[in-house]
Amino acid sequence: MDIPLLYWCSAILIIPLTLFFLQCKRKKASALPLQPPPGPTAWHILANLFQLAKRPHEYLYELSLKYGPLMSFRLGMKRIVVVSSPAMAREVLKTHDHIFVGRTVVETAKVFSHHKSSLLWGEYGPHWRFLRRIVTVELFSPQRLESQKNLRGDQVVHTVRQIFQSRGKAVNIEHLVFCNTMNVLGKMIFTTNLLDPDNPASVGLKDTMWKIVKLAGAPNLSDFYPLVRFVDPQGVSRQMAKHLKRLYDFMDLFIQDRISTKNIKRQQKDSYNDFLDVLLEARTEDFTLYDVKALISEVFLGATDSTTTTIEWVMAELIRNPQKMKRVQEELDDVAGLEPKVEGYDIDRLPYLDAVVKETFRLHPALPLLFPHTAERDCEIEGYMIHKDAQVFVNMWAIGRDHTIWKEPFEFMPERFLEEKNREIDYKGHNSELIPFGAGRRQCVGHPFGIRMVHLVLASFLHSFDWTLPIREQIDMRDEFGQMLKKVVQLTAVPKPRLPHHVY
């Protein structure tokens, strides 16, 4: 995002006030027995504000090499604490999870009061627990996901057939996976497909959702300097309102259609209740139709972008490393044979594919900075004081590049997860070395769905096709920071069928 002149002018005007405030705070802190974690001075951060705004995960990683895995600094009026090691992540997300369960709501989440209906940004309490429970039990529980195994498998087979019908033409991996995931979720929530990959409107919806994710993760001056909040100097909230309205309107079409046919559906005693039915029946004064729309929109945003981003990074790395792709395919051949539908195979029977997914989570975390936790009260960690209301970021991008944990951390080496010392590391929140979905009370509720979709789509794509780049094209591995760490240039690849044509 380009930073307008008003952004810099606002920052320059606020610097003297900020420094005065920090000086007063420093005098008070000097009398305390415990000090905050070490870190750069306010001047240092302000001088590098542009770098922080563009690539904060990398900049914070560089700072951690100097100040350590637990560091702090002030950015505007906010105390920021950054965690860059598994041990410190464990302290925040597990040992002291009950203290760091809070959220400081960013300005973009306040658009249309979205945060009040949000699992991601909602205040920890009874209403938040209600939202989490209904999504966990009615949408992403193991029983629900197991019962919908064929639904996922059939949709992926349909996508594989679409790829086969391209007859060797290059396809956009991100777009195919996005539409596939949206349609799986559409069946789970609305009992209908939502998108056609060949329909230009599908591209428009994907772009809208990506812009929402990008804006939600962009450093926003208004979050750190309340005095300029009403100005919205970067225009972030205004842009968010435009794109979020489009998404809300899209979801509202399906919701209103369901409401209009509700009486007919009630007369069908054997009709299947999907997630939308569950939400509509759960409405109360505290859980309104607007909450239903906001919650569904958030589920789609969270599940589609993380799944799509991860799969695209996996495919990019395997195309760059054809021998590793061949090893995955040989493993799939042993397990699935000539069967194009691979849903139902235990991931334990595909250890190398699982290692490839783990390595991608490590090297290309969809969430380079986990969503910020907020201290509900003062807390001591490693002899340092984390003060109430401090925002705590876990830098997964930095943890994945910690040379004390990972050998050759900047290299794509799935084999590392087949070694004895790393074999038991999973990505479900148990091991702080690899927590792409977070951990503790605030762990992503959709991670069981995401894990299943990533393995299923990858297994299907790699078992059904060989993948290469179009002639005279090179792969671009640059990433772009947002709420998700996406590729700057979308991956386009050429599929070559591996199975007999009649099985497609």
Asked whether 357 and 365 are in contact (CB, 8 A), the reply is no
Q: 215-249: per-residue pLDDT in tens?
A: 888 888 888 888 888 888 889 999 999 999 999 99
SS (H, E, C) 373-388: EECCCCEEECCEEECC
Among residues 458, 493, 173, the alpha carbon closest in space to that of 336 is found at 458
Instruction: Give the Å distances, CA to CA, from 359 to 69, 296, 414, 425, 468.
Output: 22, 30, 5, 11, 21
Q: 127-153: per-residue pLDDT in tens?
A: 999 999 999 999 999 999 999 999 999
**Based on the number of CB atoms within 10 Å of its own CB, is 371 exposed (0-12), middle (13-18) or buried (19 or more)?**
middle
**What percent of the chain lies above the pLDDT cut of 90?**
68
- pLDDT of 14 strictly over 70: no
Q: 411-420: per-residue pLDDT in tens?
A: 999 999 999 8
Token couple for 405: 């944990």
| Region label for 76, one of left (φ > 0), alpha (ψ between -120 and 50) or beta (otherwise) | left
Sheet holding 465-468, edge to edge: 171-172, 492-497, 465-468
Q: What is the pLDDT of residue 110?
A: 93
The Cα 389–Cα 358 span in angstroms is 33
User: Which residues lie below 8 Å from residue 177, measured CB to CB, with a gap of 6+?
Assistant: 307, 308, 311, 312, 457
Among residues 134, 142, 148, 123, the alpha carbon closest in space to that of 280 is found at 134
**What's phi and psi for 32, nearest 5 deg?**
-80, 150
Mean of pLDDT over the chain: 88
The Cα 379–Cα 107 span in angstroms is 26
Report the Cα 369 to chain-centroid distance in Å.
Answer: 10
Domains of the chain, start order: 5-503 (1.10.630.10)
Q: Are strands 465-468 and 492-497 parallel, antiparallel or unpaired?
A: antiparallel
The Cα 179–Cα 324 span in angstroms is 27
| Region label for 20, one of left (φ > 0), alpha (ψ between -120 and 50) or beta (otherwise) | alpha
Q: 52-108: per-residue pLDDT in tens?
A: 778 899 999 999 999 999 999 988 888 999 999 999 999 999 999 999 999 988 899
User: Which residues lie below 8 Å from residue 353, measured CB to CB, with a gap of 6+?
Assistant: 328, 331, 332, 347, 455, 458, 459, 462
Q: What is the pLDDT of residue 30?
A: 46
Instruction: Flag whether the pTM goes above 0.85.
Output: yes
∠ Cα 324 363 132 (to 5°) = 115
Asked whether 429 and 443 are in contact (CB, 8 A), the reply is yes
- pLDDT of 167 strictly over 50: yes
- pLDDT of 354 strictly over 90: yes
Instruction: Give the Å distances, CA to CA, from 236 to 108, 245, 246, 305, 482.
Output: 7, 14, 16, 20, 13
Give 199 or 313, the one with higher predicted confidence: 313
- pLDDT of 346 strictly over 70: no
- pLDDT of 18 strictly over 60: no
The Cα 400–Cα 364 span in angstroms is 8
Find the distance separating the first CA and the last CA of the chain, reported in whole Å: 43
